[in-house]
Amino acid sequence: MKYQYYLFSPRILTDETAKLTNQVYETWKQVYDGIFESLHTDDFYRNEVITCLKDLETDQVLAFHMYSVFDDRAKAHLEHRYMEPFAPELVKRFQAEGAHTYMSLEYLGVNTAYQFSKPGFKVADIISALSMKAFEASPWDGLLAVARMDYKVHEKAQRFGMRPMGEIMRAQYPCQLLFLKKNETKELADPFLANMVNELWNTKINHTTLISDQPAQPRHLKIA
């Protein structure tokens, strides 16, 4: 397989993860510069885990996804800018379902050079499905996302099992708040893409101890 999936922290670096950090950082700026009025390096650096899919033939980043972590025992976590839209009433609903620690899905991005180059090779779907597997392998109770509605990202998230919890405006874009508990994730319905996701997950290069290194177990939930 000429594609490789990586997980790493942008703060604990080796020579390999420093290179990955720099490559994803440049791609992140390329994708998001112009979407937000101001793009802050802090929003890249603060993530606990960064994941990316690389083309080994070209050594280029195809896509990336980033995860932050929040714990409802810490007031500073709940008052973080990312968590502000998740009002106390929503947090209480999450708590009632047994969720007290949360992994956020942030900055999903596809290298503009690959967005339309391979029909049928749905890079955004693949890295999103890999993020579902990362969540299931993580120690956190719930998954949160603020998904843009104009690009139908919220619909993609719902197909993976995420539940809509409200709508907001963020950076002038309509967004949907989404939540998912452990063991509620759904896989891609396309068998070719689902098999590719499983192979990428089972051959991942994992540079973080926050996500389990055990191969994902087969799941039976499918997207309708």
Contact by Cβ (8 Å): 199, 193: no
Q: Residue 220: what pLDDT? A: 41
Q: Residue 222: what pLDDT? A: 44
- One digit per residue, pLDDT tens: the chain, 224 residues? 599 999 999 999 999 999 999 999 999 999 998 777 678 899 999 999 999 999 999 999 999 999 999 999 999 999 999 999 999 999 999 999 999 999 999 999 999 887 655 555 689 999 999 999 999 999 999 999 999 999 999 999 999 999 999 999 988 899 999 999 999 999 999 999 999 999 999 999 999 999 986 655 544 444 43
Q: Residue 118: what pLDDT? A: 59
**CA nearest neighbour of 1 among 50, 57, 51:** 57
Q: What are phi and psi of 59, to 5 degrees?
A: 60, 30
Q: Residue 217: what pLDDT? A: 53
CATH of 3-206, one of 3.40.190.10, 3.30.70.1890, 3.40.50.720, 3.40.630.30: 3.40.630.30
Report domain extents, the chain: 3-206
Query: What is the overall mean pLDDT for the chain?
Result: 91
Q: Residue 36: what pLDDT? A: 72
Alpha carbons 175 and 133: distance in angstroms, whole number = 24
pLDDT digits (tens, 9 = 90+) for 109-143: 999 887 655 555 689 999 999 999 999 999 999 99
Pair of tokens at residue 83? 């968590």
Q: Residue 172: what pLDDT? A: 87
Q: Residue 78: what pLDDT? A: 97
Q: Residue 171: what pLDDT? A: 82
What is each CA distance from 40 to 36, 43, 56, 76, 81, in whole angstroms?
Answer: 9, 6, 29, 20, 13
Around Cβ 2, how many Cβ atoms within 10 Å?
A: 8
